[in-house]
Each structure stands twice: as C-alpha cells, then as structure tokens.
Amino acid sequence: MSQPLNTYRSGPDERGHFGIFGGRFVAETLMPLILDVEKAYEAARADPVFGAELDNYAKHYVGRPSPLYFAERLTEELGGAKIYFKRDELNHTGSHKINNCLGQILLAKRMGKTRIIAETGAGQHGVAVATVCARFNLPCVVYMGATDIERQQPNVFRMKLLGAEVKPVTSGTGTLKDAMNDALRDWVANVESTFYIIGTVAGPHPYPAMVRDFQSVIGHEVRWQMEEAEGRLPDSLIACIGGGSNAMGMFHDFLDDTSVRIIGVEAAGHGIETGEHAASLNGGRPGVLHGNRTYLLQTDDGQIIDAYSISAGLDYPGIGPEHAWLRDSGRVEYVSVTDQEALEAFKLCTRTEGIIPALEPSHALAHVTKLAPDLPADHLMVMNLCGRGDKDVFAVARHLGVEL
C-alpha cells in the first residue's frame, strides 16, 4: 500500500507549530523549562517502560478501556443514525481529565519534580490532578478563579479532601484564564521544583501535543471497539470543545480516515450574536495567549474577553492550536450549541438512557440531536460522553428554577 501524500496526524513540527498555530510564546524564565519538558517527554514517549506503566495505571486505576455503548433508546427517540456513546464519564474521577493527569504526573516523577501545580475552571481537571497527586504522594496547588470557587463548592471540597491546596484567583477577572495566568506565575517563580499539569490541549509546545497523546487512548479504543461491535469504522465523531482535550483525544486517531466525518461542538452560551459565549473558533480570531497562537475571544485591540457558558468546563476564551489548524484546513467541522440546547440534551439523555451527562458533553449531545434524525439507520455516530453530570445537578436545578 502506498503512503498517503497528505496526513493530518504528523503535527506539530519540531517548533510546536500546527500550520500557523501553536508555538512557544512564553517568557524567557520559562523557556529553558519548556525545553526540558519537551526533551523529557520525547524520551518518555520512546520508552516502553513508561508506556507500560501508563497502560497499567490506565487499566487498574482509571478503569480503561471505557465502554463504547450503543445508546439504543436515544437512537429510537431520534429515529435516524445509530448512536454510540464513548463512556469516558465512567473513568475514575468522572471524566476524561484523568487520562492526561496520569501521563503528566508520571512524567513529572520521571523528571524528579517534587511539586505539582494546575489550573482549573469547573474543577474537573483540578480534582483529577489532586487525585493523582494523592496517589503519587506529591504536594499539589490548584489555582481556581474566585468566581468558579463560589460556583463549584463540591469540587473545591473534593480537592481539599484529596490534600490539594486550592488557591483562589482574584487577579484579572478571576476566571479560568486568570487561573492559568497565576499558575504560570507560580511556575516562573518555582521552576526548579515544580511541574505544571496543564489540563487541556493548549499552552506552549509540547503541551498541546503531549496532552493530545495522553488523551488519544480514547480514539484508539473507539477504533477497535467499533470494529468489534460493527466490523467497520464509525461514520461520524462528535465531541464538545472548551480547550478541546476530549475532542482531540477522540479525533486524532481518525484524522486520516477521510470517510469519517468529524465535528467539534463549541459552547455558544446565550448565542454567539449576544457576545456572551465561549466559541473561540466561531466567534473569535487568531491571537497569542498562554504560550500559543490560536483562535481567541478578543477585542479589536487584542485584549482577551472572558468567555461565557452554562458549563464552567467550556468557558475558556481560547482553544487548542491543533483544533485551530484543523478548522482552517477544513478537516474538522466546528459548530456551536447554546446553553438552552445543551440543557434540553442534558434532560433527554438523563430520561432516555439513565445517564446524567456533564453539561460539557451535553453540548455535543445537543448537536447529535440535530444531526441524527436526518441520517440513515446504518450511519454509525460516536459521541464522546466525556464527563458525568453529578457536579452539575445544582447548576442545572438553578437554571430550571428548581429549589433544592
């Protein structure tokens, strides 16, 4: 068989670029450290011992592989495509975030780092980081916007139970982007001892590629699980996108399978036209923030605008650079879904499948409900159910006007 002339899976280049996106836009203080992380990651990647260790924890600690589940009642309800859920919400800690945290903490230990820092928005990544820090006995500091701490008390308590120190971020606007700023500030001041576990496929090279690689287990599993279930490739893949790590993890394996339609779903909040949304690709333009060039929500003057979504896990004003490149290259479609549509999908999934999804994948599900009815019954659609909704029941109650 001849090699395809073009591949979507070879990025990034040695400087961390996906087309014009990505790169290493960091202060000089961090640059030597970024290069260290890159070198250590390249070595770990090539080391079968590292891979075996990661696989072992993925299996026995996280519970991988996660099931590929035929959502029969939802399929009947929508009356079109055959819908599968990739059930990463069944992972330990309740979302896909643990896949990446496990990989990064093993790398941190390999590098001899003695302290872990992280940023978190909704707290899912923070909980996953606090979890692996407890498991591997490393001190952990999680930066979290003061506003998010208010909104996500259960996750804050969970992180504290796990032994993490949760530092409220009041600088800037006190949200996820500011939490990332403060984590970077901490890192600059503690470069010798500290490893920064970034939660999504963003940040300076090698993070976007590294986080993608650790999340790619999702897509690898979908491939063999679908082969087992249906004897062929899926026809479409759908995943929600904030920074985009669950989506990248599911998409990457299939980028060169041109028969597979791939769709990323951004959070349109109150609607892109209102300006209150988190849809960087559909409502932003290219810029440079947090170490990489990507699509950003920003003013005409290049000032970063706060993102908004009902889902705290999606309200980041940027997106992973590989997504930016996949959008411009046309390989992946990026659409958006409003708060209201996500809420409807949340209710539908709960009632028809007995699964309470997180508000993040509820966005992906909302798009499934738009597409599936018009597709034939032999169309195989996979949605990444990347998080469970227990953390969201209070927020949903509030939005539905229910007093708990």
Partner 1 sequence: MSSLAACGGTEAGTSRIERRFAALKAEGRGGLVTFVTAGDPDAETSYEILRGLPAAGADVIELGMPFSDPMADGPAIQASSLRALKAGFSLSKTLDLVSRFRQDDNDTPVILMGYYNPIYSMGVEAFLARAREAGVDGLIIVDLPPEEDEELCGPALDAGLHWVRLATPTTDDARLPAVLARASGFVYYVSVMGITGTKSAETGDIEAAVQRLKRHTDLPVAVGFGIKTPEQAGSVAGVADAAVVGSALVRRVEANLDADGRAKAGLAQDVLSLVGDLADGVRA
* Contacts to partner 1 by CB under 8 A: 15, 23-33, 171-172, 177-178, 181, 184-185, 188-191, 286-291, 293, 296, 298, 300-304
Neighbours of 370 (CB within 10 A): 14
Which residue, 123 or 318, has its beta carbon nearer to partner 1? 318
CA angle 93, 233, 92 (to 5 degrees): 5
Which residue, 205 or 252, has its beta carbon nearer to partner 1? 205
Which residue, 16 or 103, has its beta carbon nearer to partner 1? 16
Which residue, 87 or 177, has its beta carbon nearer to partner 1? 177
| Closest approach of partner 1 to the CB of residue 18, in Å | 15
| Closest approach of partner 1 to the CB of residue 289, in Å | 6
| Closest approach of partner 1 to the CB of residue 201, in Å | 19
244: left (phi over 0), alpha (psi -120 to 50) or beta: left
CA dihedral 205, 333, 91, 202 (to 10 degrees): 20
CA distances from 86 to 100, 190, 322 (A): 17, 38, 22
| Closest approach of partner 1 to the CB of residue 119, in Å | 12
Which residue, 305 or 393, has its beta carbon nearer to partner 1? 305
Which residue, 134 or 191, has its beta carbon nearer to partner 1? 191
| Closest approach of partner 1 to the CB of residue 301, in Å | 4
Q: Is residue 317 reached through a cis peptide bond, with omega within 30 degrees of 0 on the bond before it? A: no
Which residue, 4 or 32, has its beta carbon nearer to partner 1? 32
| Closest approach of partner 1 to the CB of residue 339, in Å | 24
| Closest approach of partner 1 to the CB of residue 304, in Å | 5
**SS3 per-residue string spanning 241-308:** ECCCHHHHHHHHHHCCCCCCEEEEEEEEECCHHHCCCCCHHHHCEEEEECEEEEEECECCCCCECCCC
Measured CA to CA, the distance from residue 320 to residue 174 in angstroms comes to 21
SS3 218: helix
| Closest approach of partner 1 to the CB of residue 275, in Å | 16
Which residue, 20 or 397, has its beta carbon nearer to partner 1? 20
Which residue, 51 or 286, has its beta carbon nearer to partner 1? 286
SS3 105: helix
Measured CA to CA, the distance from residue 241 to residue 7 in angstroms comes to 23
Measured CA to CA, the distance from residue 365 to residue 387 in angstroms comes to 12
SS3 125: helix
Sheet holding 285-289, edge to edge: 17-18, 21-25, 291-296, 285-289
Measured CA to CA, the distance from residue 280 to residue 294 in angstroms comes to 9
Looking only at the bridges linking them, the beta strands covering 68-70 and 82-86 are: antiparallel
Measured CA to CA, the distance from residue 66 to residue 171 in angstroms comes to 38
| Closest approach of partner 1 to the CB of residue 141, in Å | 15
